[in-house]
Structure 1
Amino acid sequence: MKVLCYSSFTFSYLNRARVLFQTLRRFHPDWELVALITDRPPQGFAFDPAAEPFDRVVWAEDLGIPDFQGWLFKHDVVEVCTAVKGPFMLQACDSGAEAVIYLDPDTALFGSLAPLEAWLEDHDILLTPHLVDANDTAEAIRDNDLSASRTGIFNLGFVAVRTRGEGARFASWWNDRLLDWCYDDMPNGIFVDQRWCDHVPALFDKVKVVRDPGYNVASWNLSTRTVSVQKDGQVTVNGQPLRFWHFTKLGPMGDAMTKKYGGTNFPVYEIWSWYKRQVTEATDAAIPERWWAYGAYSDGAPIEKAHRVLYRERADLQAAFPDPFQASEGGYRQWLEREGL
């Protein structure tokens, strides 16, 4: 099966993406690996795609999204890196690949994903839920079950489709939803792409919910997953081979949740320690921490989230300022200042 696998990120996550693509290359040297980047390289960083562990780069600005500058401005960094996943998947369905797989940049493979290819022979859409086993303590239910209820039953750090039939229909639907409705707006029932996919089992046929505990291991499901290392060195989760781990929120928050639910399951900490070392080795000092070229106006002033929300809610502002990043005379930023916003 011809597989295209991609990840969406900015340069501040290039270190994590390098680790992901290195592990993908190890287990799947025949897959086409694509970096989808919504960013521009920071000054002083010489980006050479040929030296990276992926086959090619696709820049978000080249996806053909109408009124790209205005569309981009409506989103913060997490929202836009999620939103571009839909347009790229739709286009990838016409690239000649038989299957398209998305993985978040902060994931890493620990085993072959060949079972996914086998499942895609019979199913057109594969999703992994946050939880595949019920929690039984009030604390875990509050932290994990209710969190999934708010943010979405499925974790969209992974999704796989066949480029035909229901998979292609899903890609078209997902593209439409993410172009117009990919925001962190939980009061209105939206959490980027995830809440939308709660609808997938109802809207599409040939959907497989992957309940194997070796897929998409993360802090939110460690309360029901035991990690072990076998005599031959193989890592297992509830007795099944570990396929990929989702190292979400690398830093104090991720450490706290991992410690809380990893408990005395010591292989969990060994895996996290390995990942931190890999990310450190893949980090380029020329990339400022939290770098994102589209996080500021053209004069370098940071863009407030409220400015983005106001812009996306008002068609008149979108028409008046097609490139709201420009801080020149008569631009959106000057209008905000005049309005006292």
Structure 2
Amino acid sequence: MNITYTICNRTTLPHALTLADSVQKFQPGSVFYLCWVDNAALPELPANIRVINITEVAIQDWDKMVSRYFDFELLAACRPWVAQFILKENANCQTLTFLAPTVVLFQSTETILDNENDIFLTPNILKPLTPSSYLDDKRILNIGMFHSGSWTLRNNEKVRDTLTWWANRTLDRATYDLCNGMNMDQLWLNYIPVLLPKTKIIRHSGWHFGLQAVLNKDLSLSAGKYLVDNQPLISVDFAGLTIFDPIWSNHYGLINKNNLFKNLLGYYEKSLAGYKHLVPTGNAPIPGKVADIKKYRIVRNNLAGKLKTITTYIDQF
């Protein structure tokens, strides 16, 4: 059995359902799990989706995690815990894939997996970034070499032990605090190639196209098929483009670097709109601290950067 799962709350429910559609289309043999991290009642979902409520996972110190983390941090901190739960409930699972709700498949993942490795990681970049005012190599180094929104693992003892190691660290070390060496669950992935020698870094150009790839990869359309550096497009991550993302929302402007990517975003937004009626309403709180995200935060950050440049110039001269 091959399993794909995602984790969401009401903010990302339309994204998770759009992801589920793409998994059903391109991975019809894969079982799809949705873990619900929300106090609101989840409406009835399509039959192809198996639902896990986060309370079923029985994470130790769950109440402390809820009080410690913002809601978006909490979703990330749950990822290794839910992976453990799924493997315990499905002993016959051979491969387990996590995809963030903002991911959409465009092809099967069979071409990028093999039977020789224990875990498959998604690198943020595969070569030095083209110089840009939006994003640089140091920023990638700061947030982590591997993208935690997309990975696949084999179900064996060594991998399960590594999951336990990872999960124990997201109990209290999964905040978004780059200055203190934390980036939710993501920076811990830097250790994986050391802990699991049979780690494969996915190098297919068409895998996980997103804002991190716009500067270095060419998304094109040929004979009705999307290509990335002349290889078939397999997946896209729209992180930072439709909802707040602590990392990628700061780089929203990169969407203008490729018109086809903008077109794909338009189609994606239409898919999300088709599921908005399923989003629960009411006063039930979302677990985790409420993040007060200002509407014009990107404009404000850009203005602050320009003012800092001016004050630095004045200080120098």
- Counterpart position of 1:101: 97
Compared CA separation, residues 252 and 198, structure 1 to 2 (3 A): closer
Paired residue for 2:181?
A: 189
| 1:84 pairs with one of 64, 78, 81 | 78
Distance 1:290 1:155 in 2: 33
Give the 3 Å change call, closer, same or farther, for CA 52–252 of structure 1 in structure 2: closer
Letter in 2 for 1:242: L
Contact kept in structure 2, 1:12 and 1:292, CA below 8 Å: no
Q: Given residue 230 of structure 2, which amino acid in structure 1 is its aligned partner?
A: G
User: How many angstroms apart in 1 are the aligned matches of 2:171 and 2:40?
Assistant: 24
TM-score, normalised by the number of residues in structure 1: 0.77
- Alignment of 1:275 with 2:307, yes or no, is no
Asked whether the 8 Å contact 1:86–1:179 carries over to 2, the reply is no
Secondary structure in structure 1 of the residue aligned to 2:59: coil
Aligned-pair distance for 1:294? 2.6
**DSSP-derived class of the 2:6 partner:** strand
1:249 aligns with 2:240: yes
**Residue matched to 2:127:** 133
Q: Deviations over 1:280-330 (max 9, x none)?
A: 11212764599853357xxxxx6999xxxxxxxxxxxxxxxxxxxxxxxxx
Structure 1 segment 213-228 matched on structure 2, within 5 A: 213-228=205-220
TM normalised by structure 2 equals 0.82
SS at match of 1:223: coil
CA distance 1:266–1:53, change in 2 (3 Å): farther
- Is the contact between residue 20 and residue 32 of structure 2 (CA under 8 Å) also seen in structure 1? yes
- Structure 1: runs of 5 or more not aligned: 297-301, 306-341
2:40 is paired with a residue of what secondary structure?
coil
Counterpart-to-counterpart distance in 2, 1:110 and 1:212: 14
Structure 1 counterpart of 2:23? 24
For residue 15 of structure 1, what is the amino acid of its counterpart?
A: P
CA distance in 2, matches of 1:239, 1:97: 34
Deviation at 1:122, TM superposition (A): 0.7
Contact preservation (8 Å) 1:41, 1:47: no
**Aligned residues of 1:101 and 1:158 also touching (Cα < 8 A):** yes
In structure 1, distance between residues paired with 2:81 and 2:155: 14
Match of 1:47 among 33, 43, 48: 43
Runs (4+) off by over 6 Å: 252-256, 302-305
Q: Counterpart of 1:153?
A: 145
Amino acid at match of 1:66: Q
1:22 offset after TM fit, Å? Answer: 0.4
Contact 1:5 1:34 in 2 (8 A): yes
- 1:234 aligns with 225
> How much has 1:170 moved relative to structure 2?
2.4
1:57 offset after TM fit, Å?
Answer: 1.0
Amino acid paired to 2:95? A
CA contact (8 A) 1:219 1:258 kept: yes
**Paired AA for residue 148 in structure 2:** L
**Separation in structure 2 between the aligned mates of residue 220 and residue 174 of structure 1, nearest angstrom:** 24
Distance 1:285 1:29, change over 3 A: closer
Q: Which amino acid aligns with 2:265?
A: W
Unaligned 5+ runs, structure 2: 294-317
1:110 to 102, 106, 113: 106
Q: Which amino acid aligns with 2:38?
A: D
